[in-house]
Amino acid sequence: MGKIYFPQFKNGKDGIKIHPGLTILDYAQKLKVKINAECGGVGKCGKCIVRIEKGEENLNQLTSVEKKFNLTEKYRLSCQARTIKDVSDVIVYIKDFGEYEILKYGTERKVEICPSYKKFGESVYKHGKEIDIYREGIYGLAIDIGTTTIVFDIVNLENGDIIGTIGKTNPQIIYGNDVISRIEYAMVNKKEKRFLNEEEKQKKLFELQKVVVDLINQEIEKFNNEISEKIYEVVVAGNPTMRNIFLLIDISTLGKIPYEPKNPESIIKKPEEIGLKINKNGEIFGLPLIGGHVGADIVADILASEIYKEEKICMLIDIGTNGEVVIGNKDKLISASSAAGGAFEGVNISCGVGGIEGAIKEIKITNGKVFYTTIGNKYPIGICGSGLIDLLNEMLKNKIIDQKARLKNDPFYITGDIKITQQDIFQLITSKAAIKTSWQVLSKIYPVDIKNIDKIFIAGGFGNFINIESAIKIGLIPDVEKSKIIKIGNGSLVGAREILLCYEKRKVAENIAKKVEHVRINEIEKDYNYILAENMYF
């Protein structure tokens, strides 16, 4: 019997037995091998490209879907290449999509150190009760689980020092690049076109959760293989899908009307329930959710920005596949999410990529010539979100596209190989319109005039890297004085860390989640579709 091998990866070097009927992507998922399957393996994104080094005779012929992507010899889409025979070994190489440029930091602020776990004498106490012997250190983890990236701080709970910050691509990317793909994976059998039963859902949920937990365990061991027994407390932030996957809570309700998460309240779990290799006497605290797809990451953002303390009305914007907006002050806070799609993260853009090495991140057009810089100063492989925002602004400025987002010449080339098409621009303006409509309608519902907003906090990794001027010019964020716009970096991580260091902040986070009103703007605003359509233009 033959095997499928993925030699680039430790998990794939020993191979897996061929089972006729499975796709290359199926085998990769079984082995926990990373493949950039942004669309969840339905053949839409064309990003899961692999090279079949050996064993092509075991596979089906090129599909009609693959033919649309003009693949060269030996290259296939892993979601379309299916084993139909078992006559020899298959060796597969994955087109390298690199590591994401991950934002590990945020605004720094002094926090009172009052953790749950403290040292007294030669013992570790939790809320005054002795629970363990002292092992020369008491540590905690603040974790931000994003759809694309996972970042966590290892924190000394005795003095507040961050002894290490680790950022990695979320390994769940092999199941799709957005939350919808992962929700579908945990609730639908696409091949049989049916919903999964409860046992099947739990199995898929555990599969999604385990790749994240395994990554965190491995990274802690790599950082210091003796520290795990000294880690007692973990605080986790993330959007509703990411948080609930990590805590092994069913996510299927987020994929069907009314799109509300199960167990939105804060949750405490023991290490053995989650599989984290920390001290057995420790605990994992999952921040509360606000509602719909507005999650624990936004609660942490609000905590980090301190918008909940402001006298004047402020705005918080977290731009991503699911863009979130919060408006308000200490008296009233309202929030909304928008299905912005992944266009600004490179999804469904012909030459779009995530924030990875080789991605074009800044663009200027002068006298018809395109100038750019790439992440890591590597050879250009595509354009990431910050580059796409710059590109739209520069094309508008140079009249390469008009106010109705129409390209003068389709396609427009940035390099000899990298281009942007009219269809790409449609995807980008659709995402832009969704986010702009969110803050426009939310300000109308509050109500507040945009000009009277005192501060606009921009949160998240994507927001941190964008050019503010370009984002204003294309209408992605409000046109206000630049002095009003404050980038808070990875607010989700900062908020989680503050809660880790001070137990009292848990109550603050819980009160924030209760206080913030979640608004479904498409249901409340009768002209929602009209406003959305208007915002497609510049």
pLDDT at residue 417, as a whole number: 83
Q: Are residues 127 and 262 in the same domain?
A: yes
Q: Are residues 158 and 205 in the same domain?
A: yes
Mean pLDDT, residues 470-490 taken together: 93
Q: What is the CATH number of the domain that holds 270?
A: 3.30.420.480
413 band by pLDDT with thresholds 50, 70 and 90: very high
Please report, rounded to a whole number, the percentage of residues in the chain having pLDDT higher than 70.
96
Q: Are residues 262 and 363 in the same domain?
A: no
Q: Are residues 65 and 176 in the same domain?
A: no
pLDDT digits (tens, 9 = 90+) for 120-164: 999 999 998 999 999 999 999 999 998 888 999 999 999 999 999
Q: Are residues 148 and 239 in the same domain?
A: yes
Q: Which of 271, 297, 323 is the last residue of a domain?
A: 297
Tally of domains in the chain = 3
Q: Are residues 153 and 245 in the same domain?
A: yes
Q: Are residues 47 and 126 in the same domain?
A: no
Q: Does 409 score more than 70 pLDDT?
A: yes
Predicted model pTM: 0.84
Mean pLDDT, residues 480-505 taken together: 94
Mean pLDDT, residues 425-446 taken together: 94
pLDDT at residue 50, as a whole number: 87
Q: Which of 420, 438, 454 is the last residue of a domain?
A: 420
pLDDT at residue 357, as a whole number: 76
Q: Which residues partner with 168 through β-bridges?
A: 150
The first and second tokens of residue 401, run together, are 């596209």
Give 391's Cβ-side CA count (13 Å radius): 30
Q: Is 121 left (phi over 0), alpha (psi -120 to 50) or beta?
A: left
439 band by pLDDT with thresholds 50, 70 and 90: very high
Q: How many angstroms separate the CA atoms of 99 and 428, rounded?
A: 23
What are all long-range contacts of 399-404, with beta carbons under 8 Å and residues at least 24 apart? 400/365, 401/425, 401/538, 403/537, 403/538, 404/537, 404/538
Q: Does 96 score more than 60 pLDDT?
A: no
Residue 419: alpha-carbon gap to chain centroid? 25
Q: Which of 363, 391, 420 is the last residue of a domain?
A: 420
Residue 520 lies in a domain: no
**Phi and psi at residue 43, to the nearest 5°:** 80, 20
Domain with 149 in it: 117-297
pLDDT at residue 108, as a whole number: 61
Q: What is the CATH number of the domain that holds 25?
A: 3.10.20.30
pLDDT at residue 348, as a whole number: 73
pLDDT at residue 95, as a whole number: 66
Q: Are residues 398 and 268 in the same domain?
A: no
Q: How many angstroms separate the CA atoms of 513 and 222, rounded?
A: 35
Residue 514 lies in a domain: no
Residue 334 lies in a domain: no
Mean pLDDT, residues 306-328 taken together: 92
Q: Are residues 408 and 365 in the same domain?
A: yes
343 band by pLDDT with thresholds 50, 70 and 90: confident
